[in-house]
Amino acid sequence: MKKILLIIVLLLIGATLSGQQYYEEDKEKNALYLIIQPTDMGVGLRYDRIIDDKFGAYGSFSGGEYYLEDGGYVRNHYKLSFGGMMTAKSFFPDTYLSAGLTFHNYGKSYFPNQPPKRTLSPMSFELGVSTVLGGVSVGFRMDVPKWESSIDVGFTF
């Protein structure tokens, strides 16, 4: 899993460095994403709003289920995220760094072994990066304490 995450981050950086720059007056202010969460096989939606040329905000909602190798499971995992975005324009054009709070709701669960306390914590935080390539937006977010990732692919409008 760590190799996949590293590859995704490197692809995002490479795509950003590809020299695709846009004029400020043509810059889109909204983005809508489809979320794919490999950890719990979840799906959802994310919305970004760029407030000015330096800052923005985002919100997302997703749902999935965990099936663990030892027979454990978590059914009906719902995740709600809100956060802020800041441009990394001085380093990469049309790239935003994000940080936000995540709220988790877990349904029925079974664990043969006691999981770490943070595993089922209802609150957490995430860090991320997103970039715009033409009309396509691509993002990656990581819930750091839980080590859960989200891959976001969408369009700007």
Q: What is the pLDDT of residues 49-94, one digit of tens each?
A: 988 888 999 999 999 998 888 888 999 999 999 999 998 777 777 8
Q: Rounded CA gap, 118 and 120, in Å?
A: 6
Residue whose entry in the numeric block shows the structure tokens 């969408």: 154
Closest C-alpha among 56, 105, 107 to residue 82? 56
Residue 54 is inside which H or E element, if any?
none
pTM of the model: 0.78
Tens digit of each residue's pLDDT, the chain (157 residues): 555 555 555 555 554 444 344 434 445 689 999 999 999 999 999 999 988 888 999 999 999 998 888 888 999 999 999 999 998 777 777 889 999 999 999 999 888 888 778 888 999 999 999 998 888 999 999 999 999 999 999 998 8
- Average pLDDT over the chain reads 84
Domains and CATH numbers, the chain: 2-16+30-156 (2.40.128.120)
